Each structure stands twice: as structure tokens, then as C-alpha cells.
Amino acid sequence: MNGTTGARSLLHASLIGLLLLAGCGEPESRWDAAQKAGEENPVAVSDAALPGSTFNKFFPEQNDEIDIVFKQEKDGFAQASLRRSGDEIAMLSIADTRNNPEAREKYATAEVKVQGYPAVVRENTTSLLVADRFQVQIQSEGTALTAEDRAAWLKKFDLDGLANAF
């Protein structure tokens, strides 16, 4: 083996090594992208959010015609089903917007008020903002409740109690 062949073999080996190193980097997967996004964005539940169970006492009272069945409680959120004759007619909820500060933005231009609180009325949903922090919402199933019915149900929440409790 002469010097030229040895140098050529060394050059080939070096080029192959560089190509292998360059090819070792795997393309970013969707899981990698999700991990990066999670690191860039804050935690979904604020440490300042209240336990969901603290909201239960502010929900409307149950009576002979209506059942209120609590469905979900987690930090900053409580949800209950509004049932009439065993059928669900709406979902009621209270959410602490410290978990989602952007949720407050829609109330800045609200022209409707329910019991003095800014309200947003959509097709099957009416919500309001209490104490610039708590979103109280009722979402009806189909045409079970009108916008006026939903507003009446929102008034059955202890809104002033919620506003002054925390």
C-alpha cells in the first residue's frame, strides 16, 4: 500500500464518519414539539386557583322540580348538571379565570348585564364575570332553555356571595 492509497482511504473514512454524524440527528417528532410547547407555556392550573369544591355552595338550590348533580370538581372549576324529570337540560359551571386570564377579555365589551355583572350571550350559552375573576356559565342542551331562561338561572347562583367570598 502506497502513501496515496492510504491517504485516500483515510479521506474516505473521514467523509463516511462525517456523513454518519450528520445523519444521527433525528427529525423533531410531534411529541418533541409538544414537549417544547409545554416548557414554553405556563402550567394549566394556577397555584392561586381555588379548589373546585369551594364553588359548590354558590350554585343554585335544588328543588322538587330540578335536580342539580355535581359532575366535576378540580382546581379552579366546578360543574353541575341541571336536570328536569331526569333529563339533562343544561350544564352549570363556575371557573376561576386565574387558570385562563384570556377568558376575561370577552367581558370587556359586554353590553348585557345580569344582576349587575357583565354577561355574554351566545346561541346556547350565557356566561357572566363576577368580581373580574369568576366566570359563571350555563350551557343549555338544544332549545331546552332560552337566553332569558339562562339569565334567570344565573340569577339563582349566589353571585354576590361569590363576589365577596374571596
Q: What is the pLDDT of residues 112-150, one digit of tens each?
A: 999 999 999 999 999 999 999 999 999 998 888 999 999
Which pairs with CB-CB distance under 8 Å and at least 24 residues apart come from 58-63? 58/94, 58/157, 58/158, 58/159, 58/161, 58/162, 58/165, 59/92, 59/94, 59/157, 60/92, 60/153, 60/156, 60/157, 61/156
Q: What is the pTM of this model?
A: 0.70
Instruction: Report domain extents, the chain.
Output: 3-40, 52-165
Q: What is the pLDDT of residues 67-85, one digit of tens each?
A: 999 999 999 999 999 999 8
